[in-house]
Structure 1
Amino acid sequence: MNNFKLDIHVILRIRRILSDITSVFTNKILHYVQNDKPLRFAVLILITVLFDSCIPKPLDIDIEPADPKLVVSSYVVPNRVMVVSLTRSFSALQDPNENDTTEAISEDFLEKVAVRTGLVTISYKGRTDTLIGLDSVPGIYFSINTLQYDYEEYSLYASDTIEDLTITAISTMLPQVKFDTVYPQIKNESLLIKYQFTDLPEDNWYVVVYYKKLSDTSNADLDVNSDPFSRGDNVQIGLDLLSDETFDSSIYVGQRQIYDVDSSDTLGVVIANISEGYYKFLDAQKRTEGIWAQITSEPINYPTNVVGGYGYFNTHHPDVVIIDLNEL
């Protein structure tokens, strides 16, 4: 059992609600006593006392923590590379920042949830590839020999030998969609990125992701497949989710305004043809907007194709365009 006190954010939220209710109540009361100043003063004092007495004090609550499960995410680098991140779920009562006031996930916390001693395999076309754990980045497993076939089913098996946890998942690799054009344009202190691509036949869902390189490494090192657990040199600065149900024609033209960029920055723009299930997963994830919102806002049950765990195993095949603002 975990013993904890109600978070200050919860208390402040309750106080704001009480404040709104009190404001309406106060205005109505004062309307009836507006000509009697002593009575108005007495009413204000009484309401203030009542309001302060309604502020809840921290409560000791016992909650049974949920059993940990494996959480998976996956990435495809065109041609042969498959990357899988494997972590353990954690309770909302745990602090991912370890007393850090920023929203960045701490290194110590990452060490606790990342699965170092995992077994990860990908099976397809009658063969099975065993992914290799990356020693320098716990929880990351990769294969440089996983061949990529359109409409082929890829089966994931992953286990955590320490916690005795196992998950499975199946994903179908969809055909790659490519940008027809990507046109960046500097406007004032922002960057306008316009792009165009041709919609594939049948019903389709797409994701366009924008990354900004944080290090001074070369463009070739821009890790467009990095995620919060890979400690890459990038930060995701935007994401567009598209369904061709809203398209007016087979040629789609979109744009994204990027702020807080410098003339020396390097950006990556990625497009991928994704499944409807992964589209719904990303849409739910996008609405939570970061780790603290996931903990303090209304809970959201993410869609998943993982049996026995959380996350989403996807095999989307991305197209990547690098934008060097030095060349504009």
Structure 2
Amino acid sequence: MAETLRESLTAAAQAGIISSGQVEPLSRFVEARAALPPGGTADEPNREEDSEIPRFIRGYHDILITIGIAVVLTGIAGLAPIYLAVAAVIVLAEIFVYRQRLALPSFALTIAFALFAGWTIIGLDRSYISGEISAVSASALHVAALAAAECVALAVFYWRYRVPVALAALLIAGVVTVTVLVLSALYHGDFEQYATMLFLIAGVLLVGIAMRFDLTDPKRLYTRSDVAFWLYLVAVPSILKGIFGSVQPQTTQGAALVVVVVALMMILGLLLDRRAFVTAGLIYLGYAFAALIGTDTGVLGGLATSNLIMWILVAIGLIVLTVGFGWRFFRQILLSGLPATLRASLPILR
């Protein structure tokens, strides 16, 4: 059997080539440099794949371990108090993230930690502070305090394991905390009174942060582009939810606004080479088409309900296929009209 890296370093220490205290740090350093670690820092090179989506499946071994993690954590969450599920996540993270650096298990454990930690925080809040008050009915300061507690938990998790999606979750929780505090100072009352505004403002801030990560890594060589991907995945639907929360997409006027906003999102997605901007608005686009070709408010004439759904599916499918097939062509057209200095800061044309 081939000698492992740790065994080689241990043998080197026994031979006096390196000190015994250098075995562990050298082992971690070489493992981190050998391939993209799921827990790498935002400045660590991503050598595995020149892709928009972070590569976090390296083989069936990762999938098998992740299935086991999901089954075990589901069982523990169903049988024991939720804080024990958090403890189980930490134990598993020490094995599969900190030591073995497995990509897909790292992602799954990060998501599990964020969910279980949030669930624990809300449970403790209801047991000892707020009682049975719903989070959306609580005061803004109360909601901000809960989000801040989640920030602390995620910050500790990221400090220990350096998983990019953990940093993205930390940034999301931090933006929500700050936004709620600002809105509470401007609008007095319960959180639910300005929840729509929260979606919009937090989404815009997150897109700005994600663009900062993207524009400092136009070739997507580092894991900061992975952080940007996860931020876009949350921020874009949040913006659309905030915009359309007070708009009725089923009306002709609302449908026109939906089409314009989704078109602008698609253009921004093409410039940034991020397809999340395209896919996030498809549901709202479906509502818009329903209004435009519907029976009551439509401008294209009435259709039977069964045919209406089919026409909507055809229209959305054609848009997706056109944009997807011509992605590089459309990007090239947009980039060719930009100044050279701005093109240099945008993701390269693939």
Q: Tell me if both proteins adopt one fold, taking TM over 0.5 as the criterion.
A: no
Q: Which structure features the higher share of helix residues? A: 2
- Which TM-score tier does this pair reach, normalised by the shorter chain? under 0.3
Give TM-score, length-normalised by structure 2.
0.25
Q: TM-score, normalised by structure 1?
A: 0.26
- Higher RCO, 1 or 2 (CA under 8 Å, sep at least 6)? 1
Larger Rg: 1
